[in-house]
Amino acid sequence: MLDIQLLRKEIDAVAARLKTRGFDLDVDGFNALEVQRKTIQMRTEELQSQRNKLSKEIGILKSQKQSADEVMAQVAGIGDELKASAVALEDIQVKLNDLLMRIPNLPHESVPQGKDETENVEISRWGTPATYDFEVKDHVAIGEGLGMLDFDTAAKLAGARFSFMRGGLAKLHRALAQLMLDTQTEVHGYTECYTPYIVNADSMLGTGQLPKFKEDLFWVSKGGDEEAREMYLIPTSEIPLTNTVRDSIVAVEDLPIKLTAHTPCFRSEAGSAGRDTRGLIRQHQFDKVEMVQIVHPEKSYETLEDMRGHAEKILQLLELPYRVVQLCTGDMGFGATKTYDLEVWVPSQSTYREISSVSNCEAFQAQRMQARFRVGTNKPELLHTLNGSGLAVGRALVALLENHQQVDGSVRIPVALQPYMNGKAVLTA
């Protein structure tokens, strides 16, 4: 959430920056609410001053044994108006807060301007896509050929956009997650966490999924309990990991906080009907190893580069060609101020597909969560939060199956992954 003082002081400049990411700030609406707020606050101050003055008069009249009934009636009337003003002011504050909650983050000055993904900027490439002397299969055909990937059973159990894996493929899926966790914890210094998969509305508000993206979420209820309807299945473990510092003041000595977790992720994909309906690319349920860092504001852009490297390391260990793309203003996520996407090569599509996004949110989430740090006895300041996929397990499996497929339908297992597969070098039917 943006600091409301920034809008009050520089609303035209804020609107111009938001325009570069395709968001039209309701400047007139905000200004109208601000005028109402100031009017009510000024009237409240006048009424409080009048009441104080009249209260003194009541004291004088009573001390002189004179009737104060008329003055007391005036004070009572002022009290009623103050109550009405308080209700009106609260209503305006709710409207202002709702407006603020729906405004995306401001893009960093280094972010290229653009309307959509076609104007993202490629930063680098690693690895060379392989050439094959046989007809390339997609991951669905490979998995089904192995007898280990079963979408029919998944559909019977849950419906479309779910998967069911068996045998070596299920083990390979688990091995990928374990390699990612071990690399992030043992090489890059993150603390592994086990988190709830269902969180409350405050957690979703804190990281920016609510209120804007409610239709993309799965939410749960139990036994007719209305309060339970405010519980949500996590679309990423960024939410529970980042919210660990909600309503907290962290000692500066405890920074940076580096957290990782392997969790399932649940997304209704309400806004992506018809996209990637075949296979594992876009599922309602998928696994991901998430990276979160909570840092001093002066360190956040240095940290962003580090986290990009932490995600890249996994792709290198898996021997997968990829490229790094900096997102333009029009393609960044709601809470991000700067984002890198890692896109892995998918042979069956002859293109690169996103497998990780690494973003700096600066103080945007911290403002919503009231997550702060303190230096000594100084006034608390807002933290900066960053998050990134390290990596999406299902998409890593897609890339591995396709890039390492062999003519006989088997799949070569990368050297770094073989210890997690009991030394097996090839996945066969």
Known binding site: residues? 236-238, 267-269, 290, 354-357, 387, 389
Give Cα separations from 418 to 38, 175, 207 (angstroms).
66, 9, 37
Give Cα separations from 357 to 236, 326, 385 (angstroms).
12, 10, 14
In whole angstroms, give the CA distance from residue 208 to residue 335: 6
Q: Residue 323's beta-bridge partner residues? A: 125, 343
Helix (H) or strand (E) segment spanning residue 126: strand 121-126
Q: Are 290 and 390 in contact (CB under 8 A)?
A: yes
Q: Residue 319's beta-bridge partner residues? A: none
In whole angstroms, give the CA distance from residue 319 to residue 328: 28
CB < 8 Å & 24+ apart, contacts of 139-144: 139/279, 139/280, 139/348, 139/397, 139/398, 139/401, 139/402, 140/278, 140/279, 140/280, 142/401, 142/402, 142/405, 142/409, 142/411, 143/169, 143/401
Q: Are 346 and 426 in contact (CB under 8 A)?
A: no
Instruction: Give the side-chain half-sphere CA count within 13 A for 5.
Output: 1
In whole angstroms, give the CA distance from residue 144 to residue 165: 10
Helix pair 27-63, 4-19: axis angle to 10 deg: 170
In whole angstroms, give the CA distance from residue 417 to residue 422: 9
DSSP 100: H
In whole angstroms, give the CA distance from residue 164 to residue 99: 42
Annotated binding site for L-serine: 236-238, 267, 290, 387, 389
Q: Give Cα 167 distance to the centre of its chain.
A: 33
**Cα–Cα nearest to 207, from 264, 246, 151, 162:** 246
Annotated binding site for ATP: 267-269, 354-357
- 92: its two tokens: 């305006």
Cβ atoms within 10 Å, residue 234: 28
